[in-house]
Amino acid sequence: MSQLKRVKRSTRALFNKPYYKFEVQLTVLENNYIFVGSARDELAKVPDSVYEEKIDLDKKLEKIADLIKPMSSIILIEDEPYIPGSTLKGMIRFRVEHSFKPDKNGKIYSCFIKQAHPEIKENIKNFLIKFGYFPNEVEARQNEDIRSDQFCKVCDLFGNSNLASRVIISDAKPLNEIKLEELNISEKWNDIRRVIPPKSQFKFTINLNNGDMEDLALLYLGMNLHNDGTLLLGMNKFAPKKNDKGQIIHFGRIKLELIKILEFSNDKKGFSEKEISTSEEINNFNEKILNEIKKFEDQLRNFSETSE
């Protein structure tokens, strides 16, 4: 069993270190659909032509009843889909937690949040191993000592039940007009869902309080920005499905890209704000973070992250 590497808790006071705000673009990749959030049942819309059709009343009612069968739909705000910030944060944190393996001294960078019964934890472990994620090499955290000021670096950044997060992620809102599509992902159960289609684009923000280079490196790892920014999100991300036409459809593959970075500082010279928004500025900023990631050396693990 490996030992957890712990760090002293960072202050939660504002501007002790730089405060960052990242604007991030999320794109659903081709041949992929997204279903996230708390699903709710909706009734399908019945065309006006059905009501106007001059047929027997009983047949008309039967036709209407067949058309209004409930389907699961993602959350809508004013008829527009959005992706909850909590979902995005969970995706990013999950990837960070499982990006590390023990170093040469047997120390590991992160613990894992798996508060579950033993038999459920075993299922989680088997799931992770099956898809190439981190096996149970270090004991999963059950409860943190509220009196402690020593935490794993990931908890120090993202928080836990006894520690406020230094990362706040907004809901992702559409950048373009998104027309949800209806997919029947199970002919057997007639499981019809309204899903976000390919090429849909969203924008969300990530706020980081008191960020140092190591914190930024962890965020980049969580967003897979040290590679190509592709991640898996939402339902069925590991399980392609056949639609009602027998065609293979995939779920969950998205791509993240930084649009703009704001850096706020408060030092002896006073309060200052720096905007990083041109391609050259963002590339230069990224280069600094990528060099920081290289310092992890053999602690980083490669794991499968494909829906195909």
Q: What are 153-203's pLDDT values in tens digits?
A: 999 999 987 889 999 999 999 998 999 888 877 666 677 788 899 999 999
Average pLDDT, the chain: 82
The reply to whether the predicted model has a pTM over 0.85 is no
Q: How far apart are alpha carbons 99 and 299 in whole angstroms? A: 8
Q: How far apart are alpha carbons 222 and 95 in whole angstroms? A: 5
State residue 263's pLDDT score: 96
State residue 40's pLDDT score: 61
State residue 160's pLDDT score: 84
Q: Which residue has the higher pLDDT, 138 or 185?
A: 185
pLDDT of residue 1 exceeding 60: no
Reading phi first (left if > 0) and then psi (alpha if -120 to 50, else beta), residue 236 is in: left
Give the HSE-up count for residue 306: Cα atoms under 13 Å, Cβ half-sphere: 5
Q: Which residue has the higher pLDDT, 256 or 67?
A: 256
Closest CA to 272 of 19, 101, 66, 44: 19
Q: How far apart are alpha carbons 87 and 93 in whole angstroms? A: 10
- Averaged pLDDT for residues 215-227: 95
Of 43-52, 254-263, 295-304, minimum mean pLDDT range:
295-304
Of 1-5, 74-78, 229-233, 249-253, minimum mean pLDDT range:
1-5
Beta strands (DSSP E) in 162-291 are: 167-169, 173-174, 181-184, 192-195, 201-208, 230-232, 241-242, 248-251, 253-267, 270-276
Q: Specify the residue for token string 């041949």.
A: 31
**Alpha carbon 254 to chain centroid, angstroms:** 10
> Which residues are CB-contacts of 7 (< 8 A; sequence separation ≥ 6)?
150, 151, 152, 153, 156
pLDDT bucket at 306, cuts 50 / 70 / 90: very low
> Which residues are CB-contacts of 14 (< 8 A; sequence separation ≥ 6)?
209, 210
pLDDT of residue 117 exceeding 60: no
Q: How far apart are alpha carbons 125 and 134 in whole angstroms? A: 8
The alpha-carbon radius of gyration of the chain (Å, integer) is 23
- Averaged pLDDT for residues 13-18: 92
pLDDT of residue 39 exceeding 60: no
- Averaged pLDDT for residues 240-264: 85
Which amino acid, 260? K
Q: Specify the residue for token string 């869902």.
A: 193
Q: How far apart are alpha carbons 207 and 17 in whole angstroms? A: 13
Q: Specify the residue for token string 């009843």.
A: 65
Provide the pairing of β-strand 3-4 with 107-108: parallel
Q: Which residue has the higher pLDDT, 274 or 112?
A: 274
Q: How far apart are alpha carbons 220 and 212 in whole angstroms? A: 13
299, burial (CB in 10 Å: exposed 0-12, middle 13-18, buried 19+):
middle
